Amino acid sequence: MDKKEKYTALYKEAQGLVSGENDLIANLANITALIKDRFGFFWIGFYLVKDSQLVLGPFQGPVACTRIAHGKGVCGTSWAQAKALIVADVHEFPGHIACSAMSKSEIVLPVFYGKEVYMVLDIDSDELATFDKVDEVGLSMLCELISENLPTWN
């Protein structure tokens, strides 16, 4: 199964996981576990916008940074620009926040509630240049699934 097919399967599994469940934290926790199980990335998690900063939500992986300021690091920049960012080498990203020295590449995607960024999905790899457009498209579908369901999730 190629990477695109894996993302299609992941999306269908995520749909099944969240179907009938309206708790935000439970759904985000299951989605992070699903991504970790299917792809084995080093770190997967959500940062939720709260009080003008990103606050750590459900994640899989080593201990993480708890709060990230708007426009800071890859996550804060994705939030500020309201767009996905793929970073082949995090050590070359200006202002990168090193939660773990083992993180080498990263993809961050915004999750919208209406027109506002409500949270970001952050995925780190312990290898350089892990992420590409296929990852962005596959993970964007997952973020859209979350966005569509946010109005019903408490």
The domain segmentation of the chain, as residue ranges, is 3-152
pLDDT at 65 over 70: yes
**Strand, coil or helix: 118:** strand
Q: What is the pLDDT of residues 69-125, one digit of tens each?
A: 999 999 999 999 999 999 999 989 877 776 766 789 999 999 999 999 999 999 999
Amino acid at 74: V
The count of other CB atoms within 10 Å of the CB of residue 85 is: 20
Find how far residue 4's CA is from the centre of its chain.
17
Q: What is the third-level CATH fold of 3-152?
A: Beta-Lactamase (3.30.450)
- pLDDT bracket for residue 31 (50, 70, 90): very high
Q: Give the mean model confidence (pLDDT) for residues 46-72.
A: 96
Find how far residue 125's CA is from the centre of its chain.
12
Question: Helix %, strand %, coil % for the chain, to 5?
Answer: 40, 25, 30
Cα dihedral sign, 11-85-43-89: positive
